[in-house]
Amino acid sequence: MSRISKRKLPWMLAAAVSSTAGYAAEEPVFELGRVDVTARGERIPAGTETLDAEQIEQASRLTVGAALDMLPGVNISKVGPRNEEMVYVRGFDMRQVPLLIDGIPVYVSYDGYVDLGRFTTFDLGAIDVQKGYSTVLAGPNTLGGVVNLVSRRPQSEFEGNIGGGLMFDRRFANNGYQGNFNLGSNRGMWYIQASGSYLERDFYTLSDAFRGVPGQAPGRRNNSSHRDRKINLKIGLTPNATDEYSLNYINQQGTKGNPPYAGTDPTQTARYWRWPYWDKESVYYISRTQLGDDSYVKLRAYYDRYKNALSMYDDATYSTQLKKTSSNSSYDDHTWGASAEVGTKLFSANTLKFAAHVKNDFHHEINPGKPDQHFEDTTLSFGLEDTHEFTDRFSAQAGVSYDRRIARRAENVSASNQLIDFPKDNVDAWNPQIGFVYKTSPTGKVHLGVAEKSRFPTIKDRYSYRMGTAIPNAGLKPERATNVELGYSESIAPGTTGTVNLFYSDIRNLIQGASIPASACSNPPCTQMQNVGHVVAQGVEVSLNSQIGDSVEVGGNYTYLNRQNRSDPSIVLTDAPRHKLFLYGKWSITSAVALSGDTEFTSSRVSSSDGRRVAAGFGIANAKLAWKVVRNVTAEFGVRNIFDRNYAYTEGYPEAGRNYYVNVNYAF
């Protein structure tokens, strides 16, 4: 998009993006949407990482995946063949670390994944990440942790921000724009919040160091457009100081291209794919009611619908679908569920909590020329958690959950194009855990957690033919992991804090593709998903943050991750680098002008399980200058990938070169 239409320009100039001017005095976080446990104000698990809205905005991270990449133990990954933004948490993928919004599961029913590139950050109050040891009250499938997106909740009578901005490539060609608003009012007995955002990019331009390959010339990346719209509405009642009742609605509408393979591996073929729509809609209710002085009940109920369409074309013209591999496919999935959490103080130092969850997943697969297929699963989870404060300095928490998945419907298509039933198998899992926190000083603490976790195989894991390259396996068992974490945090000096976490995970029954005779598949080579994997992941996370005087803030984190495939070393573990270093800084030059920036260094990462394809390590840097023009208006100019590095998260799928943005925001 080299020019902006006259229709869009007035709205953009009036609406203008990110909010450096800040929000109300209190953070606008919807505390009812959190799922962690508290004891004397201390959050347990003690290793929970949180990004607040100010941190996300300061770094201008527009999507959830980009924001999470700032955290220790978390690395962003781009699933190149599908153009999906994912993260790995200590080596666990997003099927094993479910995504929640205000404690509501929103991952895709069919495969357990979710494209974080479709989730913008403008309407978030915070992001909480529990790694390894996570509360059993969060529900099932938390093999490697939980990511919870916490929405906003207004704190004052009228507050908000309205913003917008423009994006430019390294040649200063305008290639995108964005706009957002957050408006809220808290009237004491009730509150209302409305948020919306629009993010569009027509293309991105590759680094000048990219010399081109067959199918991808230097310059603009082929088929790299996307558009995302989101509305988030909330209304709540707060009749007294302890009770709250909230109704929420989120509508996301997206469309995206899929840049084709642009690497040098001759075994890889380009996919000419587009998603005409990627839409998600959620409505959910959350409440908390105090029962006497020492007890409460918290209820959640939700309905979530996900629809997408994939168009697969013959070539880069994106005009014909004549090949066997070219067609249209669409999903129409929905989920409904509910949970109840009850907590009570048995005595002053002890809190007991119980949670029950039910989740019903429905997958509807539509393929031209074949009967529609339907799949249905019901998942139950029951969690019990007890927190005991032995002294002012020492507390412990023990928990256990029982999870069960019931396969209710699974339809196959026979060779005669008739619907028949797949075999259906029900599975369950027990998940015990225990954690300890000891305060070593008024500002320091040590924590230790040991957790046994599980993940149920998804509908895709069990029943997908994977375009003729696989045979289904309805009898898959749950993946299992034993996660151990030992951590220490302390205030090293005034304004400076440091944290060290050691972690270890022993992962068993890992679901991997196992080779079977080629004659079993219509499009060999042939695999079947089986519980054959045994992986050990271990490492260390180090974080340091410092406020130097009133004007300078610096910090960063380093992660070392070592994963070993104990069951079959010839199958290489992919997409998570061994080393990752993230650094950031902010200098408030005057009360009206601030300069901020961050940089990331990662080692190489393997992109294919045979080890042939490797994305090289890289270092990238970003910077932003913010100017408070008047009291509530802030203008920004930013540069991403300052040094125009040619880098990729997945081999053959290069990222954008140097690019720029300008934003204007009005906050009140």
Task: Give 343-363 pLDDT, tens digit per residue.
Answer: 999 999 999 999 999 999 999
pLDDT tens-digit profile of 118-169?
999 999 999 999 999 999 999 999 999 999 999 999 999 999 999 999 999 9
Token digits of residue 523 = 């499009």
**With the C-alpha atoms ordered 67, 73, 74, 78, is the resulting torsion angle positive or negative?**
positive
Q: What is the DSSP letter of 14?
A: H
Q: Which residues contact 188 (CB under 8 A, 6 or more apart)?
A: 238
Question: N- to C-terminal Cα distance for the chain?
Answer: 32
The residues that bridge with 51 in the sheet, in sequence order, are 127
SS3 per-residue string spanning 470-499:
ECCCCCCCCEEEEEEEEEEEEEEECCEEEE
Q: Closest by alpha carbon to 55, among 9, 99, 8, 18?
A: 18
Q: Which residues contact 366 (CB under 8 A, 6 or more apart)?
A: 329, 330, 331, 332, 372
Token digits of residue 598 = 């961050």
The residues that bridge with 145 in the sheet, in sequence order, are 131
Identity of the residue numbered 372: D
| pLDDT range class, residue 38, cuts 50, 70, 90 | low
SS3 content of the chain, % helix, strand, coil (to 5): 5, 60, 35
| pLDDT range class, residue 79, cuts 50, 70, 90 | confident
**With the C-alpha atoms ordered 65, 69, 72, 77, is the resulting torsion angle positive or negative?**
positive
| pLDDT range class, residue 45, cuts 50, 70, 90 | low
pLDDT tens-digit profile of 493-541?
999 999 999 999 999 999 998 889 999 998 888 999 999 999 999 999 9
Q: Which residues contact 152 (CB under 8 A, 6 or more apart)?
A: 28, 29, 30, 53, 123, 124, 125, 182, 184, 193, 195, 232, 234
Q: What is the pLDDT of residue 368?
A: 86
Residue with tokens 């928990």: 399
User: Is 200's pLDDT higher than 80?
Assistant: yes
C-alpha distance from residue 417 to each of 371, 392, 412 (Å): 7, 67, 9
Average pLDDT over residues 311-318: 97
| pLDDT range class, residue 26, cuts 50, 70, 90 | low
Integer-rounded Cα Rg, in Å, for the chain is 25
CATH topology of domain 9-667: Maltoporin; Chain A (2.40.170)
Q: CA 148, CA 667: separation in Å to the nearest integer? A: 26
Residues above pLDDT 70, as percent of the chain: 95
The residues that bridge with 227 in the sheet, in sequence order, are 200, 255
HSE of 224, CA atoms in CB hemisphere, 13 A: 21
Q: Among 24-33, 384-393, 444-453, which is the least confidently predicted range?
A: 24-33
Token digits of residue 305 = 């619908």
Q: What is the pLDDT of residue 23?
A: 33
Domain ranges of the chain: 9-667
User: Is 24's pLDDT higher than 60?
Assistant: no
Q: CA 643, CA 627: separation in Å to the nearest integer? A: 23
User: Is 266's pLDDT higher than 50?
Assistant: yes
Write down the pTM of the prediction. 0.94
C-alpha distance from residue 138 to each of 213, 278, 622 (Å): 46, 26, 35
Q: Closest by alpha carbon to 83, among 308, 335, 416?
A: 308
Task: Give the CA angle between residues 482, 488, 489 to the nearest 5°.
Answer: 135
Q: What is the pLDDT of residue 236?
A: 98
Pairing of strands 145-151, 190-201: unpaired
Q: CA 525, CA 486: separation in Å to the nearest integer? A: 43
Q: CA 500, CA 523: separation in Å to the nearest integer? A: 49
Q: What is the pLDDT of residue 443?
A: 94
* Selected residue with higher pLDDT from 622 and 324: 622
Q: What is the pLDDT of residue 642?
A: 99
Q: Closest by alpha carbon to 353, among 303, 299, 295?
A: 295
Average pLDDT over residues 192-198: 98
Q: Among 15-24, 266-275, 402-411, 634-643, which is the least confidently predicted range?
A: 15-24
Residue with tokens 């800084």: 585
| pLDDT range class, residue 467, cuts 50, 70, 90 | confident
CA 73 from centroid of its chain's CA atoms:
13
Do 437 and 445 meet the contact criterion of CB atoms below 8 Å apart? yes
Three-state DSSP state, 463: helix
Q: CA 180, CA 173: separation in Å to the nearest integer? A: 22
Q: What is the pLDDT of residue 490?
A: 97
The residues that bridge with 364 in the sheet, in sequence order, are 374
Q: Closest by alpha carbon to 71, among 449, 605, 446, 555?
A: 555
| pLDDT range class, residue 5, cuts 50, 70, 90 | very low
Q: Among 21-25, 296-300, 558-562, 599-603, which is the least confidently predicted range?
A: 21-25
Q: What is the pLDDT of residue 367?
A: 85
User: Is 17's pLDDT higher than 60?
Assistant: no
Q: What is the pLDDT of residue 290?
A: 97
Average pLDDT, the chain: 93
Token digits of residue 33 = 């949407």
C-alpha distance from residue 14 to each of 165, 291, 454 (Å): 10, 48, 49
Q: What is the pLDDT of residue 77?
A: 94
Q: What is the pLDDT of residue 324?
A: 86
Do 269 and 261 meet the contact criterion of CB atoms below 8 Å apart? yes
Q: What is the pLDDT of residue 42?
A: 55
